[in-house]
């Protein structure tokens, strides 16, 4: 053991990751970050995550205030409460950042994701794919004799579940937008 109580030969995902991995449970958090809509801001925000070894599970960006030139970055990340607090604090200190909200910690929030899912097949698997799509409220947006493209909106877990059911039926490709989220209430 070294002076930092890190076992020799152990691997970690980042040189900054010196905390005890068993001290707290990692949780998924959704952050809404309002930033100046200018070149390089997204790269700086992403650089903060990659430079410190934090992973981004989902990322969406869009301009939300045309006249004020502001964009909203929605980031889904994973970490202990202390790590998420550190991410929030570091984001808040960045110059082009106006607001940082941890939607997960602030209370109930609505999360949705859009996915396009291509499934190929003929005969019974094709019919079963259509039945499952109806149950999951997925729409057929393209159809050929050999394949379908389904459009689906829902929580990431719902999209994951639908994709897993489509896998044995001929799942070929998935395109996902990433999570868009907003807190509930006033």
Among candidate residues 66, 81, 106, the one where a domain is terminated = 106
Does any domain span residue 16? no
* 80 within 8 A of 24, measured Cβ to Cβ: yes
Does any domain span residue 126? yes
User: Quick check: helix, strand or coil at residue 168?
Assistant: helix
Instruction: Go through the chain and tell me how many residues it has.
Output: 186
Q: Do residues 39 and 102 both lie within one domain?
A: yes
Q: Extract the tokens encoding 59.
A: 């990322």
Does any domain span residue 1? no
Among candidate residues 56, 76, 106, the one where a domain is terminated = 106
Q: Do residues 121 and 172 both lie within one domain?
A: yes
State the CB neighbour count (10 A cutoff) for residue 26: 13
- The predicted pLDDT at position 23 comes to 55
- The predicted pLDDT at position 16 comes to 54
- The predicted pLDDT at position 1 comes to 43
Does any domain span residue 21? no
Please report, in tens digits, the pLDDT of each residue of the chain (186 residues total): 445 554 544 444 555 555 454 557 889 999 999 999 999 999 999 999 988 889 999 999 999 999 999 999 999 999 888 899 999 999 999 989 999 999 999 999 999 999 999 999 999 999 999 999 999 999 999 999 999 999 999 999 999 999 999 999 999 999 999 999 999 987
Residues 6+ apart with CB under 8 A from 130: 140, 148
* 102 within 8 A of 27, measured Cβ to Cβ: no
Q: Do residues 67 and 124 both lie within one domain?
A: no
- The predicted pLDDT at position 186 comes to 77
Among candidate residues 73, 89, 106, the one where a domain is terminated = 106
Burial class (CB in 10 A: 0-12, 13-18, 19+), 103: buried
Does any domain span residue 91? yes
Residue tagged 């070929």 (tokens): 172
- The predicted pLDDT at position 2 comes to 46
Q: Which H or E element spans position 169?
A: helix 156-170
State the CB neighbour count (10 A cutoff) for residue 100: 20
Which domain range does residue 122 map to? Answer: 109-183
Q: Do residues 37 and 52 both lie within one domain?
A: yes
Q: Do residues 41 and 101 both lie within one domain?
A: yes
Q: Do residues 71 and 102 both lie within one domain?
A: yes
Per-position DSSP letters for 79-126, written without gaps between them: E-HHHHHHHHHHHHHSTTEEEEEEHHHHS-EEEEEEEEEEEE--SHHH
Does any domain span residue 71? yes
CATH code of 114's domain: 3.30.70.1150
Q: Extract the tokens encoding 122.
A: 């003929």
Does any domain span residue 10? no
Kindly report whether the global pTM for this prediction surpasses the value 0.75. Answer: yes
Does any domain span residue 147? yes
Looking at the 3D structure of the chain, how many domains does it have? 2
Q: Could you tell me which of 95, 38, 82 has the C-alpha nearest to residue 61?
A: 38
């Amino acid at each position: 053991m070294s002076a930092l109580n890190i076992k020799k030969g152990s691997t970690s995902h980042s040189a900054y990751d010196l905390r005890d991995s068993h001290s707290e449970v990692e949780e998924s958090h959704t952050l809404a970050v309002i930033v100046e809509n200018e070149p390089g801001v997204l790269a700086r925000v992403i650089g903060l995550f990659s430079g410190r070894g934090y992973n981004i599970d989902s990322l969406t960006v869009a301009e939300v205030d045309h006249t004020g030139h502001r964009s909203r970055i929605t980031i889904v990340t994973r970490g202990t409460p202390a790590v998420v607090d550190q991410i929030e604090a570091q984001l808040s200190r960045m110059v082009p950042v106006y607001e940082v909200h941890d939607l997960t910690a602030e209370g109930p929030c609505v999360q949705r994701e859009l996915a396009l899912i291509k499934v190929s097949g003929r005969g019974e698997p094709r019919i079963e794919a259509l039945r499952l799509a109806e149950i999951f409220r997925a729409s057929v947006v393209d159809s050929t004799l050999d394949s379908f493209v389904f459009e689906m909106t829902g929580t990431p877990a719902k999209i994951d579940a639908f994709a897993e059911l489509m896998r044995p039926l001929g799942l070929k490709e998935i395109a996902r937008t990433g999570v868009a989220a907003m807190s509930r209430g006033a």
